Chains A and B, each alone.
Chain A
Amino acid sequence: AQSVTQPDIHITVSEGASLELRCNYSYGATPYLFWYVQSPGQGLQLLLKYFSGDTLVQGIKGFEAEFKRSQSSFNLRKPSVHWSDAAEYFCAVGTGTASKLTFGTGTRLQVTL
């Protein structure tokens, strides 16, 4: 069975600083990978997804993520964080046959002005 680990529960960055959120997955074959963002009291919104091909994936709101098979990682990055990026971020993995996605426990991002 697949699993996802987000090692950082909480991260604080200054506005304008760069951001990297870590995600590691466990799955024997090539996974389908996703990053979602959740603002307080809201549902989850898809930021980006990786299926195959180019390992650097561009998403909405200026985010990107890089799939590294050798490290079983799919880290989310943003060059310059805005205060409105403060939210909780979830990494998720899917397979070709599973009837559901498997989510990490989330990383809460705080942005200081």
Chain B
Amino acid sequence: ETGVTQTPRHLVMGMTNKKSLKCEQHLGHNAMYWYKQSAKKPLELMFVYSLEERVENNSVPSRFSPECPNSSHLFLHLHTLQPEDSALYLCASSQSTSPGQGGGYTFGSGTRLTVV
């Protein structure tokens, strides 16, 4: 399997649930990213992992907790979410820790999250 794979594709969860989103890349890339895409809003960068270390956290609420156990896997752990957290969550990877120089991102297909 190649590219960036995100699971699940769709997730419906209650506000008291705990769930996790998974992202896996088989490209040998060195950086991974979580983005949030809400309707009628710009792409929001949530977290950046470079060589398995978190290098950026864009003021994301603590109910979102990322984990990068190795260079191929990235998780986003979710707990006590709010309805406004409903969105498309996109994972991306980059060959270089400077993605501009490294040819940009490869995106997964996203997880459509609905919080009820």
- Please list the residues of chain A having a beta carbon within 8 angstroms of any beta carbon in chain B: 31-32, 34, 36, 41-46, 49, 90, 92-101, 103-106
| Cross-interface CB contact of A106 among B31, B33, B42, B103, cutoff 8 Å | B42
A to B CB contacts below 8 Å, 22 in the list: A41-B88, A43-B92, A43-B108, A43-B110, A44-B105, A45-B107, A46-B106, A93-B100, A94-B101, A95-B98, A95-B101, A98-B98, A98-B100, A99-B48, A99-B50, A99-B55, A99-B98, A99-B99, A100-B45, A100-B56, A100-B99, A101-B99
- Number of B residues, CB within 8 Å of A: 28
B116 within 8 A of A: no
B87-116 toward A: CB 8 Å interface, digit per residue (1/0)?
Answer: 010101000011111011111111010000
Q: How near does chain A come to B7, taking the closest CB pair, in angstroms?
A: 13
What are the interface flags for B60-87 relative to A under an 8 Å C-beta threshold, 1 for contact and 0 otherwise? 0000000000000000000000000000
* Chain A residue at smallest Cβ distance from B58: A100
For residue B6, which residues in chain A have a CB less than 8 angstroms away from its CB? 43
A105–B41 Cα distance when bound, in Å, is 8
Total A-B Cβ pairs within 8 A:
70
A93 cross-chain contacts in B, Cβ below 8 A:
100
Residue with the highest number of chain A CB atoms closer than 10 Å, among B42, B92, B97, B104: B104
- Collect the chain A residues with CB atoms within 8 Å of residue B101's CB: 32, 94-96
Which A residue sits closest to B108, measured CB to CB? A43
Q: A49-B103, A106-B43 are in contact. List 15 more A-B contacts (CB 8 A).
A: A31-B100, A32-B101, A41-B110, A43-B4, A43-B6, A43-B90, A43-B92, A43-B109, A44-B105, A46-B105, A46-B106, A95-B100, A96-B101, A100-B99, A103-B43
